[in-house]
Amino acid sequence: MSTAVAHPNIALVKYWGKRDDSLILPLTGSLSLTLDVFPTTTTVVVDPHAEADQIVFDAAPATGSAAARITAFLDLVRTLAGTNARARVDTRNSVPTGAGLASSASGFAALAVAAADAYGLTLDQRALSRLARRGSGSACRSIIPGAAIWHAGLDDATSFAEHVDGPDLGMVIAVVDAGAKAVSSREAMRRTRDTSPYADAWVHAAEADLALMQQAFAAGDIGMIGEVTESNALRMHAAIMGCRPPIRYLAPQSVALFDAAARLRAQGLQAYATADAGPNVVFVCPAGEVDAVREALTADMPGERLIAARAGAGAHLVEV
């Protein structure tokens, strides 16, 4: 029996678009912060006598596409391990699934680490990152503690995440809506690539933003990190809004929270806004300002919807 814990990550330069849908190779590299909140805990037990995988997701049997995606992932692990043995998987999220709070990242990062161990594979961090990527692209970054860069790479072997040194950052997550989103990231990424007139512009902008972000990390320049973060998120949403049929993830309150970031900066705090494929807004700031940023945001929304987070551990095995 192998149990692993992983945390979600929030990208400062976003991953939005695939070059290879099957291997999950991204069109561009991305850079994120793995957090210390909302862990996913996953246990895998190999059962040589079982005829099928048994998957329990948040205490209920998984069915349909969620179960199929986990079984397809286990098939990859079985191929690496040279076995057909089925497994029992029990996974528990403490992050609202499908709410744009990166649950698939923590989910597949925890599954990669637990399944690799349960099937007797010895994989280093890079191999685990590559494996997690096959479940969900952003999961390759949740293998890594703290800040992580996902190199787009040219093929399966060269597309992985690794740690990047930089200043100590924190985040405040503003939960605008914890419900599941209408259009999945996977579908929306495909639609952006296939129908948005801004798709190519997004790819070029994301490449330039990643280069700038790496410079900002190396220089420890939080102002530049924040500026590129906020602009990169809005560029991604602009590309998404160009889809047909249209997709818009940002709600009126999300947009208002981008204005709140500007207000906080006018008050002397280094807070910058970003948003993933959903209406929730995440503020990035120096780790030492997390509590002050959260406090200042209570003017905009109830305190229980504001979650303070700091850099967290990469996916790892735990004893239970």
Could you say which residues in the range 23-82 bind ligand 2P0, by CB under 6 A? 24, 30
What is the closest distance, in whole angstroms, from the C-beta atom of residue 181 to ligand 2P0 in the complex? 10
What is the closest distance, in whole angstroms, from the C-beta atom of residue 185 to ligand 2P0 in the complex? 4
Nearest-CA neighbor of 47 among 84, 9, 76, 13? 84
Phi, psi of 319 (to 5 degrees): -85, 135
- Name which of 104 and 296 has its Cβ closer to ligand 2P0: 104
Q: Which residue is nearest to ligand 2P0 (CB)?
A: 137
Contact indicator for 264, 295 with CB cutoff of 8 Å:
no
Find all residues with CB under 8 Å of 134, minimum gap 6, and list them.
23, 24, 73, 76
- Name which of 3 and 9 has its Cβ closer to ligand 2P0: 9
What is the closest distance, in whole angstroms, from the C-beta atom of residue 298 to ligand 2P0 in the complex? 26
- Name which of 38 and 269 has its Cβ closer to ligand 2P0: 38
d(CA 185, CA 98): 9
Q: Per-residue x/- mask for ligand 2P0, residues 160 to 199, rule CB under 6 A?
A: -------------------------xx-------------
Contact flag: residue 276 with ligand 2P0 (CB under 6 A): yes
Q: Is residue 227 exposed (0-12), middle (13-18) or buried (19+ Cβ within 10 Å)? A: middle
Nearest-CA neighbor of 16 among 276, 303, 295? 276
What is the closest distance, in whole angstroms, from the C-beta atom of residue 240 to ligand 2P0 in the complex? 9
Contact indicator for 192, 205 with CB cutoff of 8 Å:
no
- Name which of 11 and 306 has its Cβ closer to ligand 2P0: 11
Q: Which two tokens stand for residue 185?
A: 């990231």
* Cα 82 → chain centroid: 30
- Name which of 15 and 119 has its Cβ closer to ligand 2P0: 15
Contact flag: residue 11 with ligand 2P0 (CB under 6 A): yes
Choose the stretch contacting ligand 2P0; rule: CB under 6 A; options: 42-50, 90-98, 134-142, 163-171: 134-142
8-state DSSP, 167? -
Choose the stretch contacting ligand 2P0; rule: CB under 6 A; options: 11-19, 59-67, 213-221, 223-231: 11-19
d(CA 304, CA 307): 7
What is the closest distance, in whole angstroms, from the C-beta atom of residue 144 to ligand 2P0 in the complex? 13
Contact indicator for 116, 131 with CB cutoff of 8 Å:
yes
What is the closest distance, in whole angstroms, from the C-beta atom of residue 108 to ligand 2P0 in the complex? 8
State which amino acid sits at residue 87. Answer: A
What is the closest distance, in whole angstroms, from the C-beta atom of residue 53 to ligand 2P0 in the complex? 19
d(CA 192, CA 202): 10
- Reading phi first (left if > 0) and then psi (alpha if -120 to 50, else beta), residue 43 is in beta
- Name which of 16 and 217 has its Cβ closer to ligand 2P0: 16
Contact flag: residue 137 with ligand 2P0 (CB under 6 A): yes
- Contacts to ligand 2P0 by CB under 6 A: 11, 14-16, 24, 30, 104, 136-138, 185-186, 276-277
